[in-house]
Amino acid sequence: MHEFGAQLANGLALGAIYALIALGYTMVYGIVELINFAHGDVYTFGSFITLVILTALGITGEAHGVLLVVAVVVALLGSALACGVLAILIERVAYRPLRNAPRLAPLITAIGVSFILENALQLWKGPAPITVPALIPNPRFLGGTFSLAQVSVIVLAVVTMFALQFLVHRTRLGMQMRAVAQDRDAAALVGIDANRTIALTFLIAGALAGIAGMASGVYYQSTWFLNGFGAGLKSFTAAVLGGIGNIAGAMLGGFCIGLLEAFTSATIGGQWANVAVFTVLIAVLVIRPNGLLGTNLPDKL
């Protein structure tokens, strides 16, 4: 039972990170129907930036009180901002010129961008895993099952999701995003600047990846240049599982994939976790391509 609780906590925390990344996939796919392959590497970039910020703040281990709050806030905002800017740059350089090209063209450039980012990150911090300071103190909750870091990550993801829901459904920008997603030309006719709206979507998606990168860096106290490849793929699986284009679905999918990975690792063995997740990816796409909660997209041919 204790083992079950521990895996539940692991799975939910991992799932929260996947959910945060998946939100970015789902936002971008929702508006430009592109699998933003470089999204996972933007997430890695976020964890690297977090390390840089924590180092700059002189933090090498657990922080307390005001310093903890300041460190968390600065790292979160800094990472989100850096990743948002990176995502906008990527969109501008590699995707926007291909908006009217055949569907697969931007996917191929996205893979290219992913490789370039991975190589750049490798040159920056080397090929080996890097340690991130254990910023969060470690009191435990719920009979010692959940650590503070786990609870924080889960709460962060859920709060972010609700904020995003609010943004998409209750604000002017969200209305513009939905309009562009539905029909770019019609949106342009009513005076919506599609380029600006798409760029802002990438900014938000990148910021979400940055938040995820900060959270995972601090939670796992480690990162490396290829972190985003597997995490990105699994988060995309999560987005598809929940129903691509669907914000609540991305969150649900993220938690499902996180739990699946945690329990597969605990029962069969960690080396089967990837096989399990990718099998789910293939199965969902084949059996229920609209995901658990359905998609908001028309299935254009």
Partner 1 sequence: MIYAYAALAIVAAVLIDRFPSPRLRRIVIVALAIPLLLVPLIDPSEATRNLLADASIYVALALGLNIVVGFAGLLDLGYAAFFAIGAYAYGMLASPQFGLHIPFWVILLLAGPLAALFGMILGAPTLRLRGDYLAIVTLGFGEIVPQIFQNLTAYTGGPNGIPGLDVPSFFGKSFGASALPFYYLALALVALAIFIAGNLRASRLGRAWLAIRDDELAAKHAGIDTTRAKLAAFAIGASFSGCAGVLFAAKLGLVSPDLFGFQVSVLIVSMLVLGGMGNLSGVVIGSLVLTMLNSAILPQANMLAATLLHVHVDLSQYHFAIYGVILVAMMLWRPSGLIARRAR
Distance CA 45, CA 176 (A): 29
- Looking at the Cβ atoms of 98 and 188, the one nearer to partner 1 is 98
If you write DSSP's letter for every residue of the chain in order, what string do you get? Answer: -HHHHHHHHHHHHHHHHHHHHHHHHHHHHHHH----TTHHHHHHHHHHHHHHHHHHTT--S---HHHHHHHHHHHHHHHHHHHHHHHHHHIIIIIGGGTTS-THHHHHHHHHHHHHHHHHHHHHH-SS-EE----S---EETTTTEEHHHHHHHHHHHHHHHHHHHHHHHSHHHHHHHHHHH-HHHHHHTT--HHHHHHHHHHHHHHHHHHHHHHHHHHHSEE-TTHHHHHHHHHHHHHHHH-TT-HHHHHHHHHHHHHHHHHHHHHT-GGGHHHHHHHHHHHHHHH-TT-SS--SS----
x/- contact string, 160-199, with partner 1 (CB under 8 A)? ----------------------------------------
- Looking at the Cβ atoms of 14 and 135, the one nearer to partner 1 is 14
Stretches 62-70, 74-82, 116-124, 249-257: which one binds partner 1 (CB under 8 A)? 116-124
Position 224 contacts partner 1 (CB under 8 A): no
Position 35 contacts partner 1 (CB under 8 A): yes
Position 73 contacts partner 1 (CB under 8 A): no
Position 1 contacts partner 1 (CB under 8 A): no
Quote the distance between the C-alpha of residue 82 and its chain's center.
Answer: 14
Shortest approach of partner 1 to residue 218 CB, angstroms?
27
Q: Which of 9, 19, 75, 94 binds partner 1 (CB under 8 A)?
A: 94
Q: Which of 5, 165, 229, 294 binds partner 1 (CB under 8 A)?
A: 229
Position 27 contacts partner 1 (CB under 8 A): no
Q: Are 121 and 114 in contact (CB under 8 A)?
A: no
- Looking at the Cβ atoms of 105 and 248, the one nearer to partner 1 is 105
Position 285 contacts partner 1 (CB under 8 A): yes
Position 33: which residue type?
Answer: E
Q: Which of 120, 148, 159, 186 binds partner 1 (CB under 8 A)?
A: 120
Q: Are 44 and 223 in contact (CB under 8 A)?
A: yes
Q: Which of 22, 34, 156, 251 binds partner 1 (CB under 8 A)?
A: 34
Shortest approach of partner 1 to residue 116 CB, angstroms?
4
Distance CA 234, CA 266 (A): 18
Q: Which of 106, 228, 243, 254 binds partner 1 (CB under 8 A)?
A: 106
Shortest approach of partner 1 to residue 103 CB, angstroms?
5
Shortest approach of partner 1 to residue 111 CB, angstroms?
6
Position 112 contacts partner 1 (CB under 8 A): yes
Distance CA 212, CA 153 (A): 9
Q: Which of 57, 116, 130, 175 binds partner 1 (CB under 8 A)?
A: 116
Residues lying near partner 1 in the complex (CB under 8 A): 33-35, 93-94, 97-98, 101, 103-109, 111-120, 122-123, 229, 233, 236-237, 240, 269, 271-272, 274-275, 278-279, 281-282, 285-286, 289, 299, 301
